[in-house]
Chain A
Amino acid sequence: MSIHAGTGAEQRIVDDRDVSVEAFVVEKADYYTPIFELLQRGKLPRWHMNIWGLLLPWFWAAMRGTWIMFWIALALDVLAIVCLMQVVKFSPLLAEAQANAADNVTLIARYSGWIQSFGTVGVIALIAGRLWMGSSANRFYYGQYTRWRTDKGVANGVNMRRVILAAVIIALVAPLTIYRASQQRLDERACLNQIRAGETVTALLAQHGVSDVAELLPKLSARADDLAAEKASLDAISDRTEAQNTRRSGIRKELRGAERDLSTAEDFVAISRRDRFDCWFIDDFPTVARIDPPEDVVYRSVPDEEAIAAGDEDATKVIRIVKDPVEGRVVNIFTYSSESIDKSINYLRANFAGIFDAITHVLRQSLIRVEVAFMQTPWPVVSFLFIALSWAFTGKGTTIFVASSLAFLAVFELWQVAMQTMALVVVATAICILVGLPVGIWMAKNKVARVITEPILDVMQTIPSLSYLVPAVAFFGISQPPAVIATVIFAIPPMVKLTALGIRQVPESTKEAALAFGSSERQLLRKVELPMAIPSIMAGLNQTIMLALSMATISAFIGAEGLGALVTASLGDAQAGKGLLAGLAIALVAMMIDRILKGIRASFSRI
């Protein structure tokens, strides 16, 4: 790098990163310089081979730092070997089937077919892959060269450290994959049985006070023998006393237990190293921990006798009922956590019933009001309002569309149900605005808030709605109120995100100008940021309404009424026609609202 002092006021730093290929390839410049030149001119023939790329593509690519090619070469070779491994896997099966050829005609045909096709694909993948690598190596390398010229971070030259890294990658990826390809699918229960056997043996070791399985086995077999002998002697007695009979059935039970322990221990010893390996590495992720389940507690709200006696008639109290644990039940981490969550929901529900009931009440009341507004307003009035809105804000075409959609709802007698859906959407949207707007503003203004809110919003947007319908029911009962909650969770993220985006998009210079004329933070928000964010906020509102409508179907699963209920009912009764018509009605409602809102948005965004 050198500094050329310009004659003008500015100084320029000139980078010596060179035009010459040599600085890039470092080694074998004589080979690459003419090749790169040919590539630049578009004259390098496709059949031209880089011999290293042909023979050891991943080694060459790693050494030169051409990582894209390294991964492609590795993938191609592993793919080819995996195909060839299928031949290895099926050949013994074929031989086994051929031992009894008459009975296994279909099996033989199937196995030989597989062996043949996998073999062919494997060989072709290996040869064609290598040829392609050989002829593409120089092209990849040239691509890397052009990137390197503008970006110092791109690898250049020859570096053996990269080869070591590549070797580690290959060692991690290739052997296990290839080994897995050569094996039959593991028995699903095999691994669980292994774990259980291990647990039993651990318990037995503790019980018998020995530290090694080798010592345990003779003890177990001796005990089984003792019990068998005692049983035999009891069996031999022809007229047994009452006590002897009791003893005999007791021994029978013990003997069964002892034999089971013995066989489990023997099984455990018999598990081969390879089976253990298979269970740990090539099947499902191994179960790492099996723990005691959480305490089985139920919280129940019961009448509080003392308080009732004291005069408070509706008094309740929460009691805690602990159930006896199931003997020997151990669970994995997933089950432990899910049961703990169940318990906490139960706890919250029992202890804070008042709060949840109050929320449910407010939701239900507001829903009833809005439903009344939609359903008891005479249909000519509602349709007139819709048509008038679309006439005022959109064009003729949209108005015709809105009118025909309304006609569809009316003629198919879906009017009342559609209005129920509308009521749900309106209430949910109102909550979304009331909550989403302030949160969005907060998120735009505060970095900490952004860091906290963003992942929560992402979860809200992506978590399957069916998975939070259950807790919603637990807290808010069934029918409309939990449906509103579920809808709000699903539909609020765009409102929040687009409000924040709109506010953050206000140019710094505009805000600076407002400040320069003496604006306070509040005035800045009210007179500059919010008005300028309105197009974005309206886009968020639009999306929120669309999401709320799509949620209307799902929330029918927890008893929300409306068009969604028709869809879910038709799902239960396998009535395709009913479901399709109701679905179409939802789509039409959504499109009507969307078109009208778009018109309103357009009239806002004159700026």
Chain B
Amino acid sequence: MSEAVVEIDGVWKVFGERAKDAMDAIRTRGLSKADVLDEFGAVVGVKDASFRVGEGEIFCLMGLSGSGKSTLVRHINRLIEPSAGTIRVLGDDIGKMKPDALRAVRGTKIGMVFQNMALLPHRSVRDNIGFALELRGMDAYHRSKLADQALETVSLHGYGDRLPSELSGGMQQRVGLARALAADPEILLMDEPFSALDPLIRRNLQDEFLGLSANLKKTTVFITHDLDEAIRMGDHIGIMKDGEIVQIGTAEDIVTAPADDYVADFVAGISRLKLVSAAKIMVPLDKYQSKRGPLDMSQDHPVARPEDDLDTLVGLSTHSELPVLIKADGDTIVGVVDKNTLLRGLQGSAEE
């Protein structure tokens, strides 16, 4: 990981009138969530969360509703003040900023997309997109130029003069995205941006966003309650439960080595075809040969690379009765995948 653009360290958020007392009690006495609720009537929204997002990376925060992911992401632009912990954005401690500096960061460095779009109904699409620029005092001419550019980026060219209510849900969310992109911020915060859309449009927008992201290289924190979406979008995924981040890792890490039963429960239904690489399931060559006898290298074995996914291996083995050889750089055979190993790998129980 390169230098972290967003860095969250030990962040707690306690809601309630006596949140401060509750936080002190948690620090000194180590109360549990239930104790805090009992004693102070305070709710722990985020519990000791830490993560780092590197430049240009997409970090997915995944969790069920009420798991505190939306609360956590609002700490990054300080829409919510943390009860404890530090948040650094581009190296600056956001908690120590004066209101003016904070507004400047929000307006120029961080763009945000909301689940319910939250467009201003009385403004045209163009004025919505130019909103952050307008707040900064940019003149109307430059504003509309940048807004039109942003519209083009999200393939809504020519819709600038409509009102948001005239657009479909998917289009409105594109406007929301364009609004976030218009000020050309380094960081994007996406709070369940596609959750309210129907599946087809959701997929469409996911693809489009991935394409955009590959070009624009925005550091993104992406919130979702949908593991499929998290796996599609995220370079890294953080799984949240009851305000706590229970596991952080790549999609493959999480699917192949869930940290606890909760995560395991989640990933149980996920298709491993595109997630798991050959390296994760292959049997080392010597181990394979010691069990099954030496391989007849003269035969035409199908060959794959360690980073190829299961989908590729399935494709290869349907054309041949022979096990697939996994060759690393320099053509050395590092492992073997036969049909049994492959089927087990698909099922999720790699070890025999």
Is B121 a contact partner of A607 (Cβ separation < 8 A)? yes
Task: Decide yes or no: A519 and B114 within 8 Å by CB, A532-B120, A607-B163 being known contacts.
Answer: no
Q: CA A510 – CA B119 in complex, angstroms?
A: 7
Residue in B closest to A604 when the chains form the complex, CB atoms: B122
B residues less than 8 Å from A512 (CB atoms): 79, 114, 118
Cβ proximity bits A1-29 to B, threshold 8 Å, 1 near / 0 not: 00000001110000000000000000000
Closest to B165 in A: A607
- Tell me how far the C-beta of B263 lies from the nearest C-beta in chain A, rounded to whole angstroms: 10
Q: Are B118 and A513 in contact (CB under 8 A)?
A: yes
A514: Cβ under 8 A from any B Cβ? yes
Give the complex CA separation of A509 and B115 in angstroms: 9
- Cα(A607)–Cα(B165), bound, Å: 7
Residues of A within 8 A of B121 (CB): 532, 607
Task: With both chains docked as a complex, state the minimum distance between the C-beta of A601 and any C-beta of chain B, in angstroms.
Answer: 14
B135: interface (CB < 8 Å): yes
Look across to chain B and name the residue whose beta carbon is closest to the beta carbon of A531. B122
Residues of A near B134 (CB, < 8 A) are: 527
CA distance A507 to B114 in the complex (A): 13
Q: How far is the CA of A483 from the CA of B224 in the complex (A)?
A: 61
Report B150 CB to chain A, min CB distance, Å: 13
Whether A603 sits at the interface, judged by CB under 8 Å, is no
Chain B residues whose C-beta falls within 8 Å of the C-beta of A8 in the assembled complex: 265
B213 at the interface (CB under 8 A from A): no
> In this assembly, does B301 line the interface, its C-beta being within 8 Å of a C-beta of chain A?
no
User: Do A518 and B103 have beta carbons less than 8 Å apart?
Assistant: yes
What total of A-B pairs shows CB separation below 8 Å?
73
Which one, B110, B111, B114, B265, contacts A509 given CB within 8 A? B114
Which residues on B sit within 8 Å (CB–CB) of A516? 77, 79, 106, 110, 112, 189
Per a CB cutoff under 8 Å, which of A507, A520, A531 touches B118? A507
How close is A535's CB to chain B, nearest CB, in angstroms? 10
- Pairwise interchain contact B135-A518, C-beta atoms closer than 8 A: yes
Does B135 contact A519, Cβ atoms closer than 8 Å? yes
Give the nearest-CB partner of A523 in chain B: B135
A65-84 CB mask vs B (1 if < 8 Å, else 0) is 00000000000000000000
A520 touches B103 (CB 8 A): yes
Let me know if A285 is at the binding interface, CB within 8 A.
no
Quick check: is A528 within 8 A (CB to CB) of the other chain? Answer: yes
Q: Are A517 and B118 in contact (CB under 8 A)?
A: no
Tell me the nearest residue of chain A to B63, going by C-beta. Answer: A9
Per-position 1/0 for B119-147, Cβ under 8 A of A = 11111000000011011100000000000
Contact of A518 among B118, B122, B132, B165 (CB under 8 A): B132
Q: Is A606 an interface residue (CB 8 A)?
A: yes
Q: Is the CB of B107 within 8 A of A517?
A: yes
Judge if A515 is at the interface, Cβ distance under 8 Å.
Answer: yes
Q: List A contacts of B173 (CB < 8 A).
A: none
Q: Mark B79-123, 1 if CB is under 8 A from A, else 0.
A: 100000000000000000001000111111011101010111111
Residues of B within 8 Å of A507, CB to CB, are 118
Q: Which residues of B contact A519 (CB under 8 A)?
A: 103, 135
How large, as a class, is the contact surface on chain B? 20 to 34
**Shortest Cβ distance from residue B301 to the other chain A in the assembled complex, whole angstroms:** 42
Looking across the interface, which residue of chain B has its beta carbon closest to that of A507? B118
Nearest Cβ in chain A — how far from B104, in angstroms?
7
Tell me, yes or no, whether B64 is within 8 Å of chain A by CB: yes
Given contacts A516-B112, A520-B103, are A510 and B118 in contact (CB under 8 A)? yes
Bound-state CA distance A328–B310 (Å) is: 108
CA distance A523 to B165 in the complex (A): 23
- Using A10-B64, A519-B103, A532-B121 as known contacts, say yes or no to A513 and B108 having CB atoms under 8 A apart: no
B64 contacts A9, C-beta separation under 8 Å: yes
Q: Are B77 and A528 in contact (CB under 8 A)?
A: no
Q: Produce 1/0 per residue, B143-176, CB < 8 A to A.
A: 0000000000000000000010100000000000
B120 touching A9, Cβ below 8 Å: no
CA distance A509 to B131 in the complex (A): 15
Report the minimal beta-carbon distance from A607 to chain B, rounded to whole angstroms: 4
Interface core residue of B112, B120, B134, B163 (most chain A CB under 10 Å) = B120
Query: B residues within 8 A CB of A532?
Result: 120-122
* Residues of the B chain whose Cβ atoms lie less than 8 Å from the Cβ of A510: 118-120
Question: By the criterion CB–CB under 8 Å, are A9 and B262 in contact?
Answer: yes
Most buried by B among A8, A518, A528, A532: A518
Q: Determine how close the nearest CB of chain A comes to the CB of B32; give it in whole angstroms.
A: 16
Please tell me if the beta carbons of B120 and A528 are within 8 angstroms of each other in the complex.
yes
Asked if B179 is at the interface of the complex by the 8 Å CB criterion, the answer is yes
Q: Cβ of B132: which chain A residues have Cβ within 8 Å of it? A: 517-518
Q: Taking A9-B262, A607-B165 as contacts, is the C-beta distance between A517 and B135 under 8 angstroms?
A: yes
B-chain residues with CB within 8 Å of residue A606 when the two chains form the complex: 122, 163
Chain B residues with CB under 8 Å of A9's CB are: 64, 262, 265-266
A558 to B121, CA, bound (A): 47
Tell me how far the C-beta of B128 lies from the nearest C-beta in chain A, rounded to whole angstroms: 10
Q: Mark A576-603, 1 if CB is under 8 A from B, else 0.
A: 0000000000000000000000000000
The reply to whether B136 and A518 form a contact with Cβ atoms under 8 Å apart is yes
Within A32-49, which residues are at the interface with B (CB < 8 Å)? none
Instruction: Tell me the bound Cα distance from A515 to B112 in angstroms.
Output: 10
Assess the A517–B64 pair: CB atoms within 8 A: no
Considering the complex, give the chain A residue whose CB is closest to the CB of B107.
A518
Interface residues as binary, A145-164 with B (CB distance below 8 Å gives 1, 0 otherwise): 00000000000000000000
Closest to A509 in B: B118
A438 and B328 alpha carbons, distance in the complex (Å): 73
Chain B nearest CB, measured from A537 CB (Å): 13
Please tell me which one of the listed residues A513, A518, A520 contacts residue B114 in the complex, with CB atoms under 8 A apart: A513
CA distance A532 to B128 in the complex (A): 14
Per-residue interface assignment for chain A, residues 118 to 153, with 1 indicating a CB less than 8 Å from any chain B CB and 0 otherwise: 000000000000000000000000000000000000
Q: Measured between C-beta atoms, what is the minimum distance from A481 to chain B in Å?
A: 39
Chain A positions within 8 Å of B131 at CB level: 514, 517, 527
Interface string of A91-128 (1 = CB under 8 A from B): 00000000000000000000000000000000000000
Return chain A residues, CB-CB under 8 Å to B116: 509
B 248-300 contacts with A by CB, 8 A: 262, 265-266
Max chain B Cβ within 10 angstroms of own Cβ: one of A8, A9, A520, A531: A9
CA distance A507 to B123 in the complex (A): 15
Q: How far is the CA of A61 from the CA of B112 in the complex (A)?
A: 60
Chain B minimum-CB-distance residue to A517: B132
In the assembled complex, the Cα of A96 lies from the Cα of B256 at a distance in Å of 106
Cα A8 to Cα B241 with chains together (Å): 13
Assembled-state Cα–Cα distance A175/B105 (Å): 75
Q: Which residues of B contact A531 (CB under 8 A)?
A: 120, 122-123
Bound complex: CA of A517 vs CA of B99, how far in Å? Answer: 13
Q: Which residues of A contact B104 (CB under 8 A)?
A: 518
A523, B106: Cα distance in complex, Å: 14
Residues in A neighbouring B118, C-beta threshold 8 A? 507, 509-510, 512-513
B189 — nearest CB in chain A belongs to which residue? A516
List A419-468 residues whose CB lies under 8 Å from chain B: none
**CA of A455 to CA of B120 in the docked complex: distance in angstroms?**
33
Pairs across A and B, CB under 8 Å, 24 listed: A8-B265, A9-B64, A9-B262, A10-B64, A509-B116, A513-B114, A513-B119, A514-B120, A514-B135, A516-B79, A517-B111, A517-B131, A517-B135, A518-B104, A518-B106, A518-B135, A518-B136, A520-B99, A520-B103, A520-B135, A523-B135, A527-B131, A527-B134, A607-B163
Nearest 4 A/B pairs, CB to CB: A518-B107, A513-B118, A517-B132, A518-B106
Known: A512-B114, A518-B136. 9 other contacts (CB 8 A): A509-B116, A514-B131, A516-B79, A517-B107, A517-B131, A518-B105, A518-B106, A518-B135, A534-B122
